[in-house]
Structure 1
């Protein structure tokens, strides 16, 4: 009876006191008891994820500003959480004060619920079908070839090349700029906005400020293209849908493409190359066997899971997830590395095994918020890895410590030093 009364009081307070009174953007740091799931040991997740998954796949991490926060590490519970759109909201705006709600810094597909999410996704999904993506394959091949030339030129001068600035970063960056239709004059500004938004070492203030700057830049770019539509995705949506979409919503979609397609692919290209170079047989097969490429890429996506957590889910009503009662207003975080190392993926899930039978992993999320650019990312990885391996079959790492990024929402490395021949 006492528990029922407490639950009634809690739900009443959530109704009477608006969520807007909780402002996550003012946090100057994320407490350790909440941030440890973002930590890793090299390519591997924090060992605590495995032990938590074994004992409690849905685990209460603790509370923050009066909100209970749950961590999901099991694959089955992860899929349930990401699929339950009627039970969860991803709209974070009520929780970030004026920075997100009044100023419009937060939005886009990831932080939008139906019906707005349905409307916006309908506008952008056709641009990421395989049929339309095939049109940019020549551009992708040209960009990759240019970076391979850059690697060779640097190696002839310095012998050892850092593959992050020469290969992993520029390929998705140039591809996204081409895809969005950003003119050359905007690209350097866009480049500078690429990293800070995923770093949570400074808490909500730093990350949200970086998102705000990125969104403002894209709103200005969208407004210019409203007057004179460019050849890329922004201009295409303006030509096809006109006033059906506002500059704010279109900038949000463009920002989502940037978020999902640049830093994530850069992390995959950098760390995936390092993993492959640590497996000489796989490196050779990547260069010689086209049938090897697809399954190996899927295994790298599962194994590395560069996106650390899915978009936060806010419980709209009480729901049982993985045997745990999640109450109205609670936040649920799905650890994608944790779920992707679940024993359901077969023997030795903590090992990279390119011969593993490909399974439906969660690297791109799941449900209505699954990454809309998943096929673009796959296309980049399937083209870039084998091209690099064919051009430099004798490439080898010269440093075993690539400088892994701490506490980043999108995992990555600072450098990948290699000798091409």
Structure 2
């Protein structure tokens, strides 16, 4: 079995996985990681679910080999330190301790109560787009403000201070920046949220962050870490899905028409867009705690395993005709929100935002189209979350 020399990020087609990955045969591939250590790349759907389900694979950063050179720690720092409260990179029982405090705030019942307000936010941004007129950058005019406004209201982050977290988040996930620059941006973001936690302690409001502060179960550093994680994940990922998904729909007008005209399609369209685009193109990453058999091979204790979601979500054994976009497909088992105990905490919020936003956008502007040729839309392949940096549109 040929060993992969690296994990490629550049996509020859903006909506397709890198060609070298699509040409792989089989679900599991040996790979030389960026620091020279041997490890594995998972491209099979069944195998990916198995890894995400198996507690013998650790979710912490400690000991993980970097699948790309941009994630190699600075010299003298063998392992990146996990900030308190950053439970996305923790195993149980620490992971569950944080998650149980938050799960109720992102339940289906809570999302149903939020739906009218989310629709109001969406309609407000569409009204502003209509007022300003064409052309527009759909990222700045719609895809970024909608989830940012929603997560700010949910957490209690003043939206007027958005430049303090949107810019720093963008810098922190941009792999064109050095790891020191990304670390500095992350530290700046955490500094802002540490300050905000202090303000909530002095004057609690009716929001999630205030509730966590007054609950007394988390100290200041833990609150800062939780707030950083929720704010970053709550706007960065959904914003990229909204903009990249809109880009794809504008390039597939027959699919856009289904989303626009059939109210029953929105839910399946969200799952299909998540499957087809797979904006997480670096990871999830796991480290084997013990020897684990997988796909006829043995993952040795200490070895790193990287899941390649853009290929996993195109596995023909799970999704027939996987390279065809079909917004009516029942793709609810796609792994864009991960799987198992570490599946995305805010997945129901993200689903709701997208389910409401795509049809509303296409109905409000039925002649919406790209303002530049598709090949001129600027992509962000050098970011941990894939997407577009701008989406020029007109109508």
Instruction: Spell out the pairing of 1:203-242 with structure 2 (5 A cutoff).
Output: 204-239=179-214, 241-242=215-216
DSSP-derived class of the 1:268 partner: helix
Give matches, 1:367-378, under 5 Å: 367-378=340-351
Per-residue CA shift, 1:236-264, capped at 9, x if unaligned? Answer: 2233x22x112222222222222322111
The RMSD of aligned alpha carbons is: 2.2
Q: 1:201 to 1:238 in 2, by over 3 A?
A: same
Task: Extract unaligned runs of 5+ from structure 1.
Answer: 1-31
1:343 counterpart SS class:
coil
Matching residue of 2:48: 78
Give the alignment partner of residue 160 of structure 1, picking from 116, 130, 135: 135
Distance 1:69 1:227, change over 3 A: farther
| Larger CA deviation: 361-370 vs 35-44 | 35-44
CA distance in 1, matches of 2:178, 2:293: 30
Q: Is the 8 A contact 1:109 1:369 kept in 2?
A: no
Are 2:277 and 1:301 equivalent residues in the alignment?
no
Which residue of the other structure, out of 12, 22, 27, is the alignment partner of 1:50?
22
Quote the residue 1:132 is aligned against. 110
Q: Which residue of 2 is the match for residue 178 of structure 1?
A: 153
> How far 1:377 sits from its partner (Å)?
0.3
- Kindly tell me the number of residue pairs found equivalent between the two proteins: 379
Contact 2:259 2:327 in 1 (8 A): no
Structure-2 change in CA distance of 1:185 and 1:380 (3 Å): closer
Structure 1 residues 235 and 168, CA gap change in structure 2 (3 angstroms): same
Aligned to 2:58: 89
Question: Are residues 1:311 and 2:306 paired?
Answer: no
Distance 1:227 1:174 in 2: 23
Task: Report deviation, 1:324.
Answer: 2.3
Shift of 1:184: 4.3
Note if 1:360 corresponds to 2:325.
Answer: no
Residues 99-122 of structure 1: CA distance to partner in whole angstroms, max 9, x if unpaired?
Answer: 843xx6475121111101011110
* Residue matched to 2:94: 116
Q: 1:262 aligns with which of 209, 217, 235?
A: 235
- 4+ residue stretches of structure 1 with deviation over 6 A? none
Q: Distance in 2 between matches of 1:248 and 1:106?
A: 6
Q: Is the 8 A contact 1:307 1:411 kept in 2?
A: yes
* TM norm structure 2: 0.89
Distance 1:250 1:46 in 2: 38
Q: Given that residues 314 and 323 in structure 2 are in contact (C-alpha distance below 8 angstroms), is that contact kept between their aligned partners in structure 1?
A: yes
Instruction: State the partner residue of 2:69.
Output: none
Counterpart residue number, 2:68: none
Please, what TM-score do these two structures have when normalized by structure 1? 0.84
Alignment check: 8 A CA contact 1:111 1:311 kept: no
For residue 31 of structure 2, give the secondary structure of its aligned residue in structure 1. Answer: strand
Of 383, 388, 404, the residue aligned with 2:361 is 388
Unpaired runs of 5+ residues, structure 2, are: 65-72
Q: Which has the higher helix share?
A: 1
Report the CA distance between 1:410 and its aligned residue. 0.4
2:125 touches 2:142 (CA, 8 Å); kept in 1?
yes
Residue 147 (structure 1) aligned with residue 117 (structure 2): no
Give distance in 2, aligned partners of 1:389 and 1:84: 41
How far the C-alpha of 1:224 sits from its partner, in A, is 2.3
Question: Quick one: distance in 2 between partners of 1:328 and 1:145?
Answer: 51
**Correspondence list, 1:97-112, <5 A:** 97=77, 100-101=80-81, 105=83, 108-112=86-90
Listed as ranges, the matches of 1:64-75 within 5 Å are 64-65=34-35, 67-75=37-45
1:16 corresponds to which residue? none
> How is 1:320-359 mapped onto 2 (pairs within 5 angstroms)?
320-359=293-332
Q: CA contact under 8 A between 2:174 and 2:384: conserved in structure 1? A: yes
**Aligned-pair distance for 1:38?**
6.1
1:179, distance to aligned residue in structure 2 (A): 1.3
Larger radius of gyration: 1
Q: Secondary structure at the match of 2:268?
A: helix
Q: Secondary structure at the match of 2:33?
A: strand
